[in-house]
């Protein structure tokens, strides 16, 4: 047994040691953690750079499938030379060890590739020593517990790294060293797995690593708290490892306590099964490889309880499928078509309604009234909303009532419905634009016609120019605005043609902008007309309104069809020489009827006023 595998209590508990910092544990010494740290390697590269690049180019030109060309760090030379039994004479020459990785499928040609590589290397630099390997050769180092050799190879400086294999190994080894530095005695196994081990790695692949922590020495800290603390520490090293290695967004560690892991292994949990089957240890204290051997021998099998759990998921398959089919038919399809339907009704100008009213409004508005969409689409909406969604709500439909064939039919109809709704939206937007310009036109020309007492577009524009623009009552730009509103309406009618049919053309973006502009100009003109009319009414009202100042009291006098007297909130009028009570409504009615006419003072009424107020004067 390895000396490091002592009783854990000799060095204190897990809780006590979590806070300690350890010196990095690497049998190879201070390995290069990034491309900029190893100065020795950098100098060698500067001296031999052209030769290395030439060697890489010549070798990959002949063997295009080569995945990795790397320079094994100088600190690892002795370990590599011992492992691969390089003679003492060659060792003394200060060899530069080059790593070449080829795909496993080309293993049968590895002898020929090695000879060619050695021949090329000697011609370029007699100190180059080529090591030809496949990924499987690298993984076997871990399976043989040759972790130092594997670490040396993994820390190679990349000259070529097609699929990111070398970068993935390098960032993993650095992360492992950081984790061991913090609490080596409590890491049982540090294992790499996933796509990189299966030979499916790419430059963007994650690197799955599993860290098994021995929690058998826990005394005071709850196990879950321990796990979360360790997880936080291990995850905190990810960014540091990626920065030091020059590799980004790679590491994906999973943390397990020993007891939890054993419990999952006992039940042959599928994740653990895959992890043990594919995993390669980068560090192990004699636990992982026995698990791997037991699995290979078929000794890891699920317990009866685990089998019951696994089989129960199969028993629920029919229920699960029926529930999912039912949910799609009653919920997914409903929300997929109901929400856009409400949106189109709102676009048309209708307020949102409940389910049944929305279905009814869609049919009445777009099918019956406007004839903008075919009846079958209203039928599709009604079937999904009323029959299926409301049927589910009221308990009339249950899982199992919807067959796969019916779901296919409903899905096809829903997709067709949504496609048709997109066309309907264009029709509605066109109709809204058309109605918008028509409304603007009617509002503006209607107000001007009433004000100028003219009918017909040409007559209204001519009168507006002569009576209002030229007399300085409206700015000249309003005349241009009127013509633009008129022209925009004609363009829209010409473009859209007869409304409500699918063949109608839609407005271009430029025409839509003209409609928006015409709407703004129309609003500007109508606001100005309202203000002008109000000013006229006030002026007309002021002509008939006088302030009576008597000896003892004052009053307001209005010379209308009849003469009105308002005093202290009381309204009276002089009728046939007599003063009688009146109402605000009667006063308002006579004011409206007096608009646009001259002021006529009833002198007989003046005599009545003199009797009421004595000597007085009228002030306007």
pLDDT per position as a tens digit, 200-258: 777 777 889 999 988 876 666 677 777 788 888 888 888 888 888 888 767 889 888 88
DSSP string covering 476-538, please? THHHHHHHHHHHHHHHHHHHH-STT-TTPPPPPHHHHHHHHHHHHHHHHHHHHHHHHHHHHHH
End residue of a domain, out of 473, 501, 536: 536
Residues 115 and 179 in one domain: no
- Average pLDDT of the segment spanning 425-443: 78
Q: What is the mean pLDDT of residues 391-419?
A: 90
* Cβ-based burial of 43 (10 A; exposed 0-12, middle 13-18, buried ≥19): exposed
* 447 inside domain: yes
Residue 57, CA distances (Å) to 60, 62, 66, 134, 242 in order: 5, 9, 11, 19, 28
In a domain, 411, yes or no: no
Q: Decide if 127 is inside a domain.
A: yes
Indicate if 69 and 123 belong to the same structural domain: yes
| Between 495 and 411, residue with greater pLDDT | 411
Q: Do residues 337 and 390 share a domain?
A: yes
In a domain, 425, yes or no: no
Distance (Å) of CA 306 to CA 261, 264, 267: 15, 10, 5
- 407 domain-assigned: no
Shared domain check, 372 and 287: no
Q: 0.95 cut: is pTM over it?
A: no
Q: Are 512 and 562 in the same domain?
A: no
* Residue 48 placed within a domain: yes
Q: Are 455 and 449 in contact (CB under 8 A)?
A: yes
Residue 245 shares a structural domain with residue 369: no
Question: What's the CATH code of the domain at 131?
Answer: 3.30.460
**pLDDT tens digits, 529-574:** 888 777 776 666 677 788 888 878 888 888 888 888 898 788 888 8
Whether the Cβ atoms of residue 546 and residue 589 lie closer than 8 Å to each other: no
Domain match, 606 and 491 both: no
- The C-alpha atoms of residue 478 and residue 523 are separated, in whole angstroms, by 11
DSSP single-letter state for residue 184? G
Domain containing 266: what range? 1-25+171-307
**561 and 439, same domain (yes or no):** no
How far apart are the two ends of the chain, measured CA to CA in Å?
Answer: 119
Q: Are residues 21 and 110 in the same domain?
A: no
> Which among 227, 228, 235 is positioned nearest to 251, based on CA atoms?
235
Q: What is the pLDDT of residue 337?
A: 93
Check residues 360 and 24 and name the one with the higher pLDDT.
Answer: 360
Q: Which residues, other chains included, contact 583 with Cβ-Cβ below 8 Å and sequence gap of 6+?
A: 571
| 148 found inside a domain | yes
Contact 177, 158 (CB under 8 A): no
Residue 544 covered by a domain:
no
Exposure string over 461-496, b if 16+ CB within 10 A, otherwise e: bebbbeebbeeeebeeebbebbeebbebbebbeebb
The tokens for 370 are: 């406007």
Average pLDDT over residues 185-214: 86
Whether residues 71 and 182 share a domain: the answer is: no
Residues 6+ apart with CB under 8 A from 16: none
Q: How confident is the model at residue 288 (pLDDT cuts 50, 70, 90)?
A: confident
Q: How confident is the model at residue 68 (pLDDT cuts 50, 70, 90)?
A: very high
pLDDT, tens digit (0-9, with 9 covering 90-100), for 360-381:
999 999 999 888 899 999 999 9
Clarify whether residues 200 and 279 are in a common domain: yes
Q: What's the pLDDT band for 19 if we cut at 50, 70, 90?
A: very low
Asked if residue 186 and residue 132 are part of one domain, the reply reads no
Domain count for the chain, please give it: 5
| DSSP three-state, residue 255 | strand
């Amino acid at each position: 047994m390895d000396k490091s595998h002592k009783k854990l209590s000799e060095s204190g508990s897990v809780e006590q040691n979590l806070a300690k910092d350890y010196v990095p544990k690497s049998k190879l010494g201070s390995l290069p953690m990034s491309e900029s740290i190893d100065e020795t390697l950098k100098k060698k590269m500067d001296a031999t750079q052209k030769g290395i690049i030439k060697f890489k180019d010549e070798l990959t030109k002949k063997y295009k499938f080569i995945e990795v060309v790397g320079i094994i760090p100088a600190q690892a030379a002795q370990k590599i030379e011992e492992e691969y039994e390089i003679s003492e004479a060659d060792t003394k020459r200060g060899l530069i060890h080059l790593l070449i990785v080829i795909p496993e499928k080309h293993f049968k040609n590895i002898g020929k590739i090695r000879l060619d590589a050695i021949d090329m290397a000697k011609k370029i630099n007699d100190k180059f020593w080529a090591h030809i390997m496949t990924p499987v050769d690298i993984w076997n180092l871990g399976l043989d517990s040759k972790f130092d050799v594997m670490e040396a190879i993994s820390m190679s400086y990349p000259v070529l790294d097609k699929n990111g294999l070398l970068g993935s190994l390098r960032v993993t080894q650095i992360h492992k060293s950081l984790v061991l530095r913090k609490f080596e005695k409590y890491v049982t196994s540090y294992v790499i797995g996933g796509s990189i081990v299966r030979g499916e790695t790419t430059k963007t692949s994650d690197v799955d690593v599993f860290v098994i922590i021995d929690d058998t020495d826990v005394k005071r800290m709850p196990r879950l708290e321990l796990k979360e603390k360790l997880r936080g520490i291990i995850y905190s090293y990810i960014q540091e490892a990626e920065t030091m290695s020059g590799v980004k967004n790679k590491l994906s560690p999973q943390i397990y306590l020993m007891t939890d892991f054993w419990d999952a292994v006992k039940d042959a949990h599928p994740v653990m099964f895959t992890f043990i089957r594919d995993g390669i240890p980068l560090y192990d204290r004699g636990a992982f490889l026995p698990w791997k051997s037991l699995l290979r021998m078929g000794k890891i099998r699920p317990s009866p309880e685990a089998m019951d759990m696994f089989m129960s998921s199969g028993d629920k398959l029919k229920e699960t499928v029926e529930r999912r089919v039912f949910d799609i038919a009653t919920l997914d399809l409903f929300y997929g078509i109901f929400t856009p339907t409400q949106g189109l009704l709102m676009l048309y100008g209708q307020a949102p309604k409940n389910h049944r009213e929305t279905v009814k409004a869609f049919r009445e508005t777009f099918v019956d009234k406007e004839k903008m969409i075919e009846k079958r689409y209203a039928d599709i909406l009604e079937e999904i909303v009323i029959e299926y969604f409301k049927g589910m709500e009221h308990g009339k439909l249950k899982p199992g009532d919807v067959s796969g064939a019916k779901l296919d039919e409903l899905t096809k109809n829903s997709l067709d419905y949504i496609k048709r709704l997109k066309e309907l939206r264009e029709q509605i937007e066109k109709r809204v634009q058309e109605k918008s310009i028509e409304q603007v036109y009617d509002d503006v020309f209607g107000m001007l016609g009433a004000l100028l007492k003219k009918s017909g577009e040409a007559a209204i524009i001519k009168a507006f120019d002569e009576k209002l623009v030229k007399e300085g009552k409206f700015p000249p730009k309003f005349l241009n605005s009127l013509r633009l509103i008129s022209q925009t309406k004609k363009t829209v009618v010409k473009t859209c043609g007869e409304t409500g049919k699918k063949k109608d053309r839609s407005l271009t973006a430029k025409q839509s902008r003209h409609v928006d502009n015409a709407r703004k100009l129309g609003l500007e003109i109508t606001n100005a007309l309202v203000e002008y009319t109000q000013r006229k009414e006030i002026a007309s009202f002021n002509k008939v309104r006088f302030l009576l100042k008597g000896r003892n009291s004052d009053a307001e006098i209005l010379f209308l069809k009849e003469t009105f007297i308002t005093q202290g909130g009381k309204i009276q009028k002089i009728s046939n020489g007599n003063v009688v009570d009146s109402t605000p409504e009667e006063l308002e009615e006579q004011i409206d009827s007096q608009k646009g006419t001259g002021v006529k003072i009833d002198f007989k009424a003046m005599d009545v006023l003199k009797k009421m107020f004595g000597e007085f004067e009228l002030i306007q």
